[in-house]
Structure 1
Amino acid sequence: LMPRDLREMEDSSFWEMGTNGYRLEYINVFDRYNNYLGELDPLRFDMVRSYLGRKYNHYLMDYIRDADGVPMESERHMKDRVAYDYMRLRDIYEEELGYIPMTHVLMHANTGKFGNNAPISAANERWIRELFPMNFNREGFVLNRRDSSLYDLTRMQPQPYWAINHLLMRIKYDTNEDLEFVTGDRDNRRAWDLREGALELRDESLLLTTLPEGRAYARLQEGSELRDLNIDTYVDGNAFGAQQIYLRSTPDLSQSICVSLVNNVLLVQEMQQGSTRELYREKIPVILGETIPSVPEDRRDAMVRENEAFARYA
């Protein structure tokens, strides 16, 4: 977004200005096979993202380190590097917008302080307190209390693909407050008896939403029984977790044919009076005819992709 775009958004009264720093860059990066990649800008990072694990850091959260984890800069150089980014952020916002935003979001979150070790945490904290009246230091929850520190606030980052009830359910879980969920098409909604969770009907889609680590369950109302039918359905959502369709089921689900997607596996089971018989099981990639590479093949592909990323953006 250009400065004029930010001004238009702010003038709409719906948006408030904040910033998450001067640059988006990653340091101390390793792939999932523990190959050291070092520093990556967003373009390189995006090219190799599918081969990374959790072993990398944001630019201002640690010393720049070598493959053995040894700092490649002195504490003074680290402080100068951190200071440069905050001064550039300050100067650019003052020049382009005329002011520094009131809110700062630390990248990344949930370190318990302002960085991954005491010296860099102190360097970040000094500049954050000097430039901003508030800072979001944690991520994953929505509830900030009156006695919360203005420099240790928590935020939730909704995703564009979330259903409205997904957002509402997360808010309900964090605040323990009763909320009214979206139901969608009210006429078709009457055909369904919601037993757990939240249900929205949108065109021909049923959007079931659970509490975290909970479940959602809706049953077609009695009187809507169909003895023989063909079902053609598209199941959306995360490949991991469980999504289930119960056919020919009793109200308590003690007898049914259960078609499940469980952790990227298609599973068909017959349930009868407390016993379960497996009728079919297969991995989704196998059903779709996708090739699953071996570990050596995937390691080779990772190295090829990494070399391509460094060559393209040299």
Structure 2
Amino acid sequence: MIRMRRLFPLILACLPVGFVLAADAAAGPDAGSIDPLVKASPYADKTVWSYHDNKPVPWARFKPKDFGGTAIRFSAEGVRSVGRVPAPGVHPRIFFSPEDLPALRKRIKEDRGAQEAWKNILSWANALKLTYDEKAEYAQPDWANGSFHIHGRIVDLHRIGGYSPKREDYYSLLAEGKKPKAYEKGSAAGFFKPAATEAFRCLIEEDAVGAQKLAKATITAIRLEQERRAREDKPVDAGQPPKPSTGRSDACGLGYIYDFIYNWLTPEQKQIMHDELVLLSAWADNYGTFNNAEASRSNWATFSYWVFDLMAIEGK
């Protein structure tokens, strides 16, 4: 105990030094140098709103091939090819291309794992539209058994208000261009995540009518979200644009909608969604981008958590 009391002041004195060393390690031993790939890119002199804090971070700090002091050997042996990325303007493109759709539809019909995942998609899509059937095959088995007033395999349907006929049909109201009570307070962008499941269903089942209704609802939700941001968002720093308060996962949901039903959108709808995705993906970095490999708080390599909504408009 006496020894610990004597050592305690020394430990306290060393703490600031430790923090300084940790900060230097996080910035990287050669944070002042610019990687040739970054230097040659149009991002060399740009900044980004990093997850580190609320201050812009220069892209010049990005080390795209920094895996630390350990040599990494990459091997694609045994990995199934994900196919070629379509040309700009060709959709779907985030997770798969038009060339992949026949095989994907076939897998949903024949593969047990894909069938179970498809039941989840149908559960969410039908609950969103208030067409959920507790007796339908997609709702079996009834794991929820009444929890949160839900019957079926997906307990979390309560997160979108459940599927009771008494619930406000906010999906149809949005499709009619109206403002649901559900979005009188809070963000209408919350609609994008469950709506992405309906977009995927429309794509797989080639449901043009369903896709067109979803497009109308999405455009209304975008307008409501833009109105909310105009009221609530404030400038962050002088000379910097306001950082949109729309949630990142919500933005990704919009990207999925845009990607999955792109071929059923009108030119005006495409432009509105595209412009919103440009705004929401701007100034956003990927998780782990600026971490030094040896001092990273993540076990992922840099540039690993992609901004999925940006991938929906890649090349445009």
Higher strand share: 1
TM-score between the two structures when normalised by the length of structure 2: 0.25
Higher helix share: 2
Instruction: Name the larger-Rg structure.
Output: 1
Determine which structure has greater relative contact order: mean sequence separation of CA pairs < 8 Å that are 6+ residues apart, divided by chain length: 2
TM-score between the two structures when normalised by the length of structure 1: 0.25
